[in-house]
Structure 1
Amino acid sequence: MTKTPDKLRARPRPVIKRTLMVIAMAITAFHLFASFLWIAPSSALREVIPGDLLSKYMIPMWGQSWSVFAPEPINGDYYFDVRAVITTDNGEEITEWVRATDVELDHSTYRPFPPRSAGLGIGVASDLKGEWEDLPDDQKAIVKLDYFKGDDSAKRLKTKLDEYEDPKNTASSYLDSEHTATAYATQVAKAIWGDDVQRVQYQAARQNVVPFSERNDKSAERPKIQPVPVGWRALVTEDQQSDEEFAKYFCASDEVRCVGEQ
């Protein structure tokens, strides 16, 4: 029997190298599984990943969907407008509306490698509008009201919504989206108007494009904007937020003039 030379014998991989390979394979497997759950239609299978870990992992770096493809391609634009009440030498004043989504998109226009954050405002507006549309009419009327006084304003809003019938339990999901929208609006407002911001109001909206069947009609006009009316809200700041870093990014756009640039 011919013996295999020592040089041709498979050498065992070092423990460290094997450990790193296993870790890399586990990370890859989790990413593929998480991407599958995120892209696939919502189902109970998503509960395999506990809490909101899936959304925190996928957003903002890995978020994706099949909505760009047929049979239901993207057929509308989302807007997110913000205004604030600020303190001045003459008392409180209400600012003009600023379209945050236009400022965000300016960071990606004509740029081959745009930041993933350039779609943040669109994502917030899309989520908020989707959750708002599921609310019963009575609850839609409530979110139009102002809730900004005191540290318990968000709790009072939830208590008021709970007073009305909610067969599909949609209020909880809406409040989560509103919390995110308020935190985003707070950062936008502070970036533009500084620390004098006292409260914020925002409006998410969608506007459909001209229907495909009317694409050759020169007189065709885009359908009207579909707004989500939300009242004034108290400021929301998350522990993970950095107002300074967000302001540097947001105010770098030519679409907005921030307080430090006045």
Structure 2
Amino acid sequence: MSTKTDQAPSDTEADAVAVATRPRPTWWVKLIAFVACLLTLWHVFASFLWIAPYSALREIPTQDVLASYMLPMFGQSWSVFAPEPINGDYHFNVRAVIEKDGEEVETGWVSATDVELSMIRYNLFPPRAGIQSSEVASGQMNAYNDLSEQQQAVAALDFAKDGWEDWMVGSFDKLEGDDKPSTVEYMKAEHLATAYATQVAYAIWGADAVVKVQYRVSRQNVVPYAERNNPNAQRPDPTFSTTGWRAPIEEEGQNRGNFADVFRAQFERTQQ
């Protein structure tokens, strides 16, 4: 006489039961995953277009859309590699005329670049705030170098009254000659540099005290490659873009308090 005994389910059967009873993702989880995949694909595609040589592919999202997405958070530079590696560094210095005890006093120069670099030196998690002045300086000097000597002479003048940007453009337009380089890109760089210098001056000397600001951009090359093994080799003298005094300007939506909290605290640390 045979008897029927119960047998425990095999591992395979147990796995099948577990899979069958496992709760499935809800529709919103699937939607979030789908959107995340789309964003990842777009970011990879945009980064590829940004670092690749220019081609018709860049016009698929259009250059303006691509630039607005990549800058300032995702901008990349591969100029550390040959054939034209970075061979110099930029500095952005600021000074101001401030009201003190009823008189206008001219301050000394402050290196905004040194203050910012102190944020990232020996820092495993460097903030992006540590490279802003270098990027501003690079853009300004590149645009400045594209100007003619006459235009550079105009940039060296003082424009320290309200509406000074229109005044400067008018001064450029009055220059003689039909082959003058365009000043559109320079005015963009000038506006950005002055706005940045304004925030630095406000952070250090106080917004209520600052009457006008001046910035100074310099670039200094490294020791030439041919002299790399010479222990007495010196870096070449820096070059400057000469600009005059400017009336302070601010962008809409800027928060001078937040800027001052970060920059002034770091500035004070560098003075210790």
Q: Which residue of 2 aligns with 1:245?
A: 258
Secondary structure in structure 2 of the residue aligned to 1:198: strand
Deviations 1:161-218 (A, max 9, x none): 2334575853111111111111110110000000201111001110000011101112
Answer yes or no: is the 8 Å Cα contact 2:146–2:181 preserved in 1: no
Following TM superposition, by how much is the alpha carbon of 1:245 offset from its aligned partner in structure 2, in angstroms? 1.0
Q: TM-score, normalised by structure 1?
A: 0.85
- The answer to whether 1:84 aligns with 2:99 is no
Q: Which residue of 1 aligns with 2:12?
A: none
CA, structure 1 residues 49+161, in 2 after alignment: closer, same or farther (shift >3 Å)?
A: farther
Q: 1:143 is matched with which residue: 123, 132, 155?
A: 155
Deviations 1:135-182 (A, max 9, x none): 1222111111111212x2111111222334575853111111111111
Q: Which residue of 2 aligns with 1:29?
A: 41
Q: 2:225 is matched with which residue: 196, 209, 212?
A: 212
Letter in 1 for 2:193: A
Q: Where in structure 2 are the equivalents of 1:13-28 lying within 5 Å?
A: 14-28=26-40
Following TM superposition, by how much is the alpha carbon of 1:241 offset from its aligned partner in structure 2, in angstroms? 1.5
Following TM superposition, by how much is the alpha carbon of 1:112 offset from its aligned partner in structure 2, in angstroms? 1.0
Q: Where in structure 2 are the equivalents of 1:1-262 lying within 5 Å?
A: 14-41=26-53, 46=58, 49=61, 53-150=65-162, 152-164=163-175, 165=177, 167=179, 170-195=182-207, 196-253=209-266, 254-256=269-271
Where in structure 1 are there 5+ consecutive unaligned residues? 258-262
Q: TM-score, normalised by structure 2?
A: 0.82
CA distance in 2: counterparts of 1:176 and 1:43, whole angstroms: 26
Where in structure 2 are there 5+ consecutive unaligned residues? 1-15
CA distance in 1: counterparts of 2:63 and 2:174, whole angstroms: 26
Identity of aligned residues (%): 46
CA distance in 1: counterparts of 2:44 and 2:80, whole angstroms: 20
CA distance in 2: counterparts of 1:42 and 1:167, whole angstroms: 28
Following TM superposition, by how much is the alpha carbon of 1:240 offset from its aligned partner in structure 2, in angstroms? 2.7
Letter in 2 for 1:128: Q
Between Structure 1 and Structure 2, whose CA radius of gyration is higher? Answer: 2
Following TM superposition, by how much is the alpha carbon of 1:219 offset from its aligned partner in structure 2, in angstroms? 2.0
CA, structure 1 residues 53+101, in 2 after alignment: closer, same or farther (shift >3 Å)?
A: farther
CA, structure 1 residues 103+55, in 2 after alignment: closer, same or farther (shift >3 Å)?
A: farther
Following TM superposition, by how much is the alpha carbon of 1:57 offset from its aligned partner in structure 2, in angstroms? 3.2
Secondary structure in structure 2 of the residue aligned to 1:92: strand
Deviations 1:78-128 (A, max 9, x none): 000000111111411111000100000000111111101100110100111
